[in-house]
Structure 1
Amino acid sequence: ARGGAPPWLRWQPLPPVPAMPPRYGGYQRKRPSAAWRKQEADYRDASAEPEYGEEEEDEEGSNDWQPPLPPHKRARTSWTPPRTPPRRPTSGRPPPPGRGRVSTPTTVRFTSLPSEYTYDMVMEMHDSFGLEVAAVEDLDFELAEPSQRGRGGPSVRALNVRYSSEEAALAARDALLDQPVLNRSGKTLYLGAELVAEERGGQRLAKPSRGQQRPRSPEPPAQR
């Protein structure tokens, strides 16, 4: 065509793009050469060893620090079972120490006590005779049984009273021995009192009081 291509289709050179200034940062950050030269000069002047009178200090400022010593090695130990003493034969064996020794008697056994007597009545009886009620530690009522007068007699029982000391037990025995007491039906009974020494094994040994004999064990019935 005459005249050629339209002007907007003709090739035109692009305008020159201005060069971007260099960017420094990240891993490609550059330092001025003057700073490098100054650092190299300072490094050459610095000596590897400290000068006289100057010692290196740690972060806390103490130059006496030493590494901790390792723990001591423990000796190898092995568990050994305890040795048991050989068993002796039972026959002819001596009693263990302390067996059979009688302790200080602090218990009084009262007999011929009316069966209807209760804890409060026993404590009132102690108080009426001027005995120390606080010294009574324990009361043990035995089963009721008919008296020695026969089956038709009044029902009585025995009572074991433990006191805090031997002096209190002796005072109670001396004060209540042969004392007349009335039962519910109005019959008069006379108390019996005796010291009871407790063995360490738990068995009670009765000590007869004044004017009384130690009760004998009942004889076995004759075999027919």
Structure 2
Amino acid sequence: MAETKVTLKLLIDTRRNRVLFAEADKKFVDFLFSIFTLPIGTVTKLLQKQNMPGSLYSLYKSIENLSDTYIQPGQDKDFLLNPKVANISGAKAPLLLPSVEHSYSGKIYKCTCSWNNCPYVSNVRRAICPSSRKKSLTWELRFVDPPSSSNEEAGFVNGLVTYMVMDDLVVKPLSAISGITGIKDVEAVEEKVVDLGLDEGVKLLKASLQSKTVLTDVFLRAETTGTGLCLSPSSIVNYL
């Protein structure tokens, strides 16, 4: 699968070397919101090569190194080490994180009980029906996503709006008034266009867990791709 790329426009205070805010479309905001769907095991696995702060990685490694002798019958360490991400119907965020496997295939199963009002379903084929205690759930049903006229309607936020993402990842609709806020010296402001791929997605995930200056940390204190353009005071007003 080709790597997804998302573009951001950063407004940078060059004198303080910090990002004032980013102008973003729905793809980037959908990615940020999708972070909340990640199990902690997935986050730990993704950040294991990023010098993850705290002790979660040590706990992760202890599970990985623990002999299967000490694991309860019927349990699997892989369930903890490689948890699958809940695939919320219709919320297809950009793939800016590697090796994230979704748990929901779009199939559900129900029991073949003789009565039609059995209330139990499962996304695991052959799960045991709690009503009959004998029959397994093997009758395949298909989950139907809500109607959508285009892929632009998938995700979490409206695609007709441009969003303002602050350095600490506060998200709100972009407006001229909100854009001017915090700009005290327009001559020191620079616009920079950057592209996000898998590498930047992982760095954003890590920075979001330990910093209040996420965009500055990722795009000004690390190597990025993009172009910078100094703006005049008049062009700042036109831009906003």
The TM-score with structure 2 as length reference comes to: 0.17
Task: Give the greater-gyration-radius structure (CA).
Answer: 1
The TM-score with structure 1 as length reference comes to: 0.17
